[in-house]
Structure 1
Amino acid sequence: MPEDSSDTEKGQIPTNLRLLLIIEEVARAGVPVAPSVLADTLGLPKPTMHRLLVTAEEEGFLQRDVDGRSYGPGRRLRRLAGNTLSSQRVRTERLIIMKALADEVGETCNLAAPGRFGMVYLDRVETHWPLRIQLPVGTQVPFNCTASGKMYLSSLRADKLDRVMSWLELEPQTARSITDKDKLREELALTRSRGYSTDDEEFMDGMAAIAAPIKDSEGRLLTTLSIHAPVQRYDLGSLIKMLPQLQKAAARIESLNKD
């Protein structure tokens, strides 16, 4: 398609970089971004911005927010982010850190990232114990009753959390699952204030877990690192005593993402 003359005169960004920079800016913002804001930030004409956003949406890299105007990451961009996190060099170093943690605490460690409808396990290092919880890489678990999910929800801005809570279905997984939205908000406030999250047999009977956040260079939650164990070996109180080791490992993984 021929370039508009206005593009040539007003836009200083090479044509083949424009869509990449739009996607980068949406990812950097961390919240849905209006086309006019993107046009002003990147210095592109609004017709050009509209055309590029339509292309990005049609190809699944961006998707419209609930307001019908702003744009956020689409399925292909989320998949790209996950694949980037799992790149061989970073993943090898990450697994070394996770294995050291699993060996130190003697329990299974998981790395999870938010998906559209729950937390998705990206990496896992198993404990040596015969009795262990089987949740393989790729498993998606609910937001409301898992340590990783509650850690993610607690990191959201108030307006984003309100939107998520409006459609979130609090399906009980066990008798201990939080199914009341007001009680969940209280739990998220506690999680936010103390900097770690818990799962006291809320997702699975007989399993407890704690999770710590791993943030990106902008200070936003990227993934979570968690330890879980059968309560026959460690109840929640015992797991919380392992929090310093968990947080130290999370900080080391966080530093890999910033290199």
Structure 2
Amino acid sequence: TETSTQSQTVTISPVNSGYDVQNITATGDEDTKVQLQITGNGLVDDDGSESIISAKLTGVPEGYLVFVGDDASAPMAGHIGNGTWSIPLNNNELPAYIAVLAPDNESGTHTVNLKIYSGEEGETPTETTQAFTLTVNPVADGVTINPTQTSGSAGNDIGIHLNATMEDTDGSETVTLTLKNFGVGENVTFNAGTASYDENTDTFTITDIAHDELGSLTFNTQYNVSDTITVTAKTVETGNNDTSGDVTATFDVSVTGGTTRQPPSTARTKTTP
């Protein structure tokens, strides 16, 4: 019996296995940093032979900022240009905190991509791309008012001097006003918004007043008025109906040259000889 022995060399070349990202959610309110919530198994080959080489976000809208680090105090990432931001790694791992900040008072939804490059040492990195929707919810930012006295003649348009200031002036918010104590029932009209009247509280509610209408708001009545009006103001986001807190103030109104309206209870009283 003869035995023959041969030796062969088998070469197993390393192959990049990639990076597993199953889902990314990124939802938050305007004027706040929106953190990316990333789920997945990470490096597919976990024997230590592969590592993350680099990472970046692409498709980030113009004017948006990216912050990267350990937590919400993280510094801003590096902007490469054309909506691309470099994501610095932490010991060859994705950082614990990645967030996007929209410009002031801006909301909306955008498609952004997270690109991760990983692989074996000496091999050309493999790109893993995960698209996600960045959602920035609109938030009503409110309005400040500092009304002053107003006066005029009955039957003419009379200015309501609210001296109002809105923080969000891009047109995404409208103003709702309540005006209480005119004392002439529903006999008042306004030049902006949509008005309704509550007889039980003698209150007008005016909705959908645009930002550029606040400075020229007027009312008109055929009746004499001499009273202190209580005004309450708030803003409403048109995108999701989010509502700001109320602000309240008072101002004096004087309307002359018209009809003096008697209170309803007095008007119904008959004088008996």
- TM normalised by structure 2 equals 0.25
Higher strand share: 2
- TM normalised by structure 1 equals 0.26
Q: Which has the higher contact order (CA 8 A, sep 6+)?
A: 2
User: Which entry has the higher C-alpha Rg, 1 or 2?
Assistant: 2
Higher helix share: 1
